[in-house]
């Protein structure tokens, strides 16, 4: 089984696919490659200026390292950049346009009718799966209120990494997103489908650099009561 692949201007086709509950959709050329290369390299270069800690996802900008953490349901190795506060930093200014575009896209095409912005916050995250085995094991979510997950690819296969697909189970098939999508493409998947990120170049030494697999995602979190 293959995903439906469309161009970013195919708005009628996109709406129709979503209406039909298409499991996986790839939108080609959603964002400019040069801009994403700059974001990826700048994020890595500025890691010394961003605190490494578990911060408040709702009000702080920070980077979190997850290397087989013990108190989680899903095994993983990655680092996550959270952008939850306009602190005037160059990093926030650099990433803000792509996340504004992703949020606008979600509101226009994917928003669930019962979604309440008073109950949920949409957090901005960049996730880096490093060469040497960065991964996120199989997991699944409740479909709503997210509806469709969105993944903007920030790295180029066969240049920044060789293996380490996002894989999505649809019935008895597994769709490997990176066989159909490249840097700048946007992947949509029904949020109740089991999915994972397979190990990134696992035969290499673990290295947190600007190489590896990088993605930008929107994370929906229930607001603190």
Instruction: Assign residue 216 the CATH number of its domain.
Output: 2.60.120.620
- The pLDDT of residue 225 is 62
CA atoms of 102 and 151, how far apart (whole Å) = 9
Residue 132 φ/ψ, nearest 5 degrees: 100, 10
pTM score, two decimals? 0.93
Is the bond into 107 cis (omega within 30 degrees of 0)?
A: no
Q: What are the Cα distances from residue 212, in Å, to 49, 82, 143? A: 21, 18, 29
- The pLDDT of residue 91 is 73
In order along its 225 residues, the chain shows pLDDT tens digits of 899 999 999 999 999 999 999 999 999 999 999 999 999 999 998 887 776 776 666 677 788 889 999 988 899 999 998 887 666 666 778 888 999 999 999 989 998 766 666 777 888 899 999 999 999 999 999 998 889 999 999 999 999 999 999 999 999 999 999 999 999 999 999 999 999 999 999 999 999 999 999 999 998 887 766
For the chain, how many structural domains are there in total? 1
Q: Tell me the residue range of the domain where 13 lies.
A: 4-222
CA atoms of 88 and 118, how far apart (whole Å) = 25
Maximum Cα interatomic distance, the chain, rounded to a whole number of Å: 47
- The pLDDT of residue 201 is 98
Say which residues have a Cβ less than 8 Å from residue 141's Cβ, sequence separation at least 6: 149, 191, 192
- The pLDDT of residue 114 is 62
Q: What are the Cα distances from residue 172, in Å, to 21, 94, 177, 178, 197? A: 17, 40, 16, 19, 18
CA atoms of 146 and 111, how far apart (whole Å) = 7
Q: What's the half-sphere exposure (Cβ side, CA atoms, 13 Å) at 182? A: 10
CA atoms of 224 and 96, how far apart (whole Å) = 24
């Amino acid at each position: 089984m293959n995903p439906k692949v469309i161009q970013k201007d195919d708005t009628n086709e996109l709406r129709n696919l979503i209406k039909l509950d298409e499991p996986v959709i790839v939108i080609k050329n959603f964002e400019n490659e040069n801009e994403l290369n700059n974001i990826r390299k700048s994020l890595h270069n500025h890691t010394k200026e961003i605190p490494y800690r578990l911060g408040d996802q709702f009000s702080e900008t920070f980077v979190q390292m997850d290397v087989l953490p013990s108190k989680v349901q899903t095994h993983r190795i990655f680092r996550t950049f959270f952008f939850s506060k306009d602190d005037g930093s160059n990093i926030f200014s650099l990433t803000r346009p792509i996340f504004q575009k992703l949020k606008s896209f979600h509101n226009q095409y994917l928003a669930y009718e019962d979604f309440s912005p008073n109950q949920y916050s949409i957090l901005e995250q960049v996730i880096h799966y490093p060469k040497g085995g960065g991964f996120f094991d199989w997991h699944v979510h409740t479909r709503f209120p997210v509806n469709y997950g969105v993944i903007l690819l920030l790295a180029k296969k066969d240049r920044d990494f060789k293996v380490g697909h996002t894989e999505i189970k649809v019935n008895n098939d597994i769709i490997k997103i990176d066989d159909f999508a490249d840097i700048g493409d946007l992947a949509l998947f029904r949020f109740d489908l089991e999915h994972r990120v397979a190990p990134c170049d696992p035969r290499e030494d673990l290295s947190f650099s600007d190489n590896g697999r990088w993605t930008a995602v929107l994370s929906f979190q229930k607001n603190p009561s």
